Amino acid sequence: MTVATGVGNESQSTEAAHAETLPWDDFEAVIRAANDGDEDALKRLMQLLEWNPDLWQSVADLGQTALCALIAEMAGGDQLMAESLRLKAAEIKESLLSESPSRLEEMAADGVAISWMRLQQLEHRCAMLETNSRDWAEFWLKSRDRAQKAHEAAVRHLLSVQTAEKRLRRKGNGRTGRQVEPVR
């Protein structure tokens, strides 16, 4: 894997200007140096992320990170289970989205998929409980109940987002498409 470096002829298009790439090992070295406090490396990292929005967007997608961690824990190294759970989560999310979802609706649908997966994990744990440990049984049952409430809240949130967006569309108010500056 490589990362665009931004080196190129300034008169070229943006894509062409960023065509030169940095090997992944070198990119990881920039990350390590930035993490160690190297200011030049931090500036370089910021440039590389600016030129590679797919990279920073995937790293910053904490919902996806949480889902991946949950799937890894549930699958326990079983790749068939892991891939099946990924597909199930994607299927759930896709089934919840309207025809042209906003980013807010997509995030709310992510929340429903993640909370559903967490609830299923705890349902499975509760089903596998040994009855000889009352304290652990209470812990897992309470965890499941909290997960159920969190899932219900996520579903309500998604429905409220979808309802609000339908109202806005009926009134003719679309998204403004304004750019948001990153916090520095």
- Measured CA to CA, the distance from residue 41 to residue 29 in angstroms comes to 9
pLDDT at 9: 41
Give the per-residue pLDDT at 184: 54
In 3-state terms, the chain is what percent helix, strand and coil (to 5)? 70, 5, 25
Tell me what pLDDT residue 102 has: 93
Q: Where are the domains of the chain?
A: 2-60, 62-171
* The pLDDT value given to residue 171: 85
List the structure tokens of 128: 């596998």
What is the rounded distance in angstroms from the CA atom of residue 2 to the CA atom of residue 49? 12
What per-residue confidence (pLDDT) applies to 180? 47
| Alpha carbons 116 and 150: distance in angstroms, whole number | 9
pLDDT of residue 82: 96
**What is residue 17's predicted lDDT score, i.e. its pLDDT?**
44
| Mean pLDDT per 10-residue segment, the chain (184 residues) | 58 45 88 96 94 89 90 94 95 93 94 94 83 79 94 97 91 56 56
